[in-house]
């Protein structure tokens, strides 16, 4: 019963956060993470600050990477295409290099 002045105490243990998310506050950033996700020790990249993964399926994860920069405005990064070329290593590469019978659908 550590209620602040004017607030009611959570005596009967009702859920106080019904959003399904918990806040994580880091150095210079803040994110909302799904409440059932757990911290992970894995680091996919050297500059990764933290990584959380799905409690049910560890394939789904969320990570924060810190990249030092001298830029002061988002426009200094250039066009979206130029930015994508700089960070494409984060997205992986296409492994398939053939042709399909259908274009974007099922044959």
Stretch 23-36: mean pLDDT, rounded? 89
Residues 6+ apart with CB under 8 A from 59: none
The pLDDT score that the predictor gives to residue 39 is 92
Other beta carbons within 10 Å of 52: 19
The predicted model scores a pTM of 0.61
Higher-confidence residue: 107 or 16? 16
Give CA–CA dist 52/47, Å, rounded.
15
The pLDDT score that the predictor gives to residue 15 is 66
pLDDT digits over 68-97, tens only?
889 999 899 999 999 998 888 888 877 777
Give CA–CA dist 64/47, Å, rounded.
9
Which helix or strand (DSSP H or E) is residue 85 part of? Answer: helix 80-87
**Burial zone of 64 (CB within 10 Å; 0-12 exposed, 13-18 middle, 19+ buried):** middle
The pLDDT score that the predictor gives to residue 27 is 87
pLDDT digits over 33-75, tens only?
998 899 999 998 888 998 999 988 888 999 999 888 899 998 9
Which helix or strand (DSSP H or E) is residue 51 part of? Answer: strand 48-54
């Amino acid at each position: 019963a550590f209620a602040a002045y004017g607030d009611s105490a959570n005596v009967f243990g009702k859920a106080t956060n019904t959003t399904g998310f918990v806040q994580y506050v880091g150095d210079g950033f803040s994110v909302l993470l799904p409440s059932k996700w757990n911290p992970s020790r894995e680091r996919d990249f050297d500059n990764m600050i933290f990584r959380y993964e799905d409690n049910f399926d560890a394939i789904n994860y969320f990570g924060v990477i810190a990249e030092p920069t001298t830029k002061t405005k988002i426009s200094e990064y250039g066009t979206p295409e130029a930015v994508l070329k700089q960070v494409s290593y984060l997205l992986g590469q296409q492994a398939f290099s053939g042709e399909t019978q259908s274009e974007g659908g099922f044959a």
